[in-house]
Amino acid sequence: MPAITLKSPAKINLYLKVLGKRPDGYHDIETVFERIDLCDELTFSPIPDRIVVKCDNPQVPCDQRNLVYKAAQMLKDRYAIPSLGVEIILKKNIPVAAGLGGASSNCAYALRGLSELWGLKLEKHEIFDIGSEIGADVAFFLLDSGRAIGRGRGEILEAVPKGESFRYLLVNPGFPVLAKDAYKSLNLGLTPIPSHSKINPASLEAIMFNGLKGLVFNSLEDPVVRMHKAISEIKSEITRSGLSVVMMSGSGPTVFGAASSMKEALDAKERLALKEGWQAFIASTLW
């Protein structure tokens, strides 16, 4: 069978409220996922027996710690296909441990690619169940929707019907933030709970650019900013560039600024004063 190549998109969280810690050690959240067109690329080539993962970014482990590797191993074990193997080449454009869901997306698209490569003909719910076992955000990337509400650990999803597309300027400071560290630093007793805590697909389908300012919220932003002052510096720089809707995505450290048009996003990027190590990206909603 010929090689299969898939694009693996990033996400941002337009809204992320941490509700409390669960008995299993995870946290219950309420979030709005937004898929964006900043993408990695995965190429799957058939080989006998083994799982081989290669990546052009040295920050990314290529062994059992990699969610792509875990996805392949789980499929081999669950569906008893020891004779089939794969070489997976991962080209990274999404920064690592950046609050953009790169690893979860790679895992989701590995499940899709391997199901095709190995002729497993899995139903959507089977792939969804496996993805949810591996990581909470994986489920969103298996949902064919550009925007969705996530609850529970993020795996209980409500797709939002296709609505307005938004443009974003994203700035990453060049260092990783692990989600476990972000959650560990969160003091739920001191976290401000916004009045707009009830979100639903109908309101999000209808949302326009001028409604974003009333939506964006992130419980994790303040604790991560306390650990990394570069995030507040990036927020100030994006605001200075002309964008007023600015928020850290997920567990950080990437910060996004929403723009009313592609021209406004590009103009803001031109005005940015990037410090050493910072990276800037332009992205749009990917439906």
Cα dist. 210→22, 30, 186, 213, 269 in Å? Answer: 35, 22, 30, 7, 20
Domain 162-284 bears CATH identifier 3.30.70.890: yes
User: pLDDT tens across 256-277, in order?
Assistant: 999 999 999 999 999 999 999 9
Whole-number mean pLDDT of the chain?
94
pLDDT, residue 82, reads 81
Query: 11 an active-site residue?
Result: yes
**pLDDT at residue 198, rounded to an integer:** 66
Catalytic residue, chosen from 11, 70, 76, 269, is 11
Q: Which of 40, 70, 137, 235 is catalytic?
A: 137
4-158: which CATH architecture? 2-Layer Sandwich (3.30)
Place 75 in a pLDDT band, splitting at 50, 70 and 90. very high
Does the reported pTM lie above 0.75? yes
In this prediction, residues 92-108 reach a mean pLDDT of: 98
Report, as an integer, the average pLDDT of 219-238.
97
The CATH 3.30.230.10 portion of the chain extends over 4-158
Known active-site residue 137? yes
3-state secondary structure 84-128: EEEEEEEECCCCCCCCCCHHHHHHHHHHHHHHHHCCCCCCHHHHH
CATH 3.30.70.890 segments of the chain: 162-284
Q: What is the pLDDT of residue 136?
A: 85
- Could you tell me the CA-to-CA distances from 35 to 53, 100, 140 in Å, in that order? 25, 9, 9
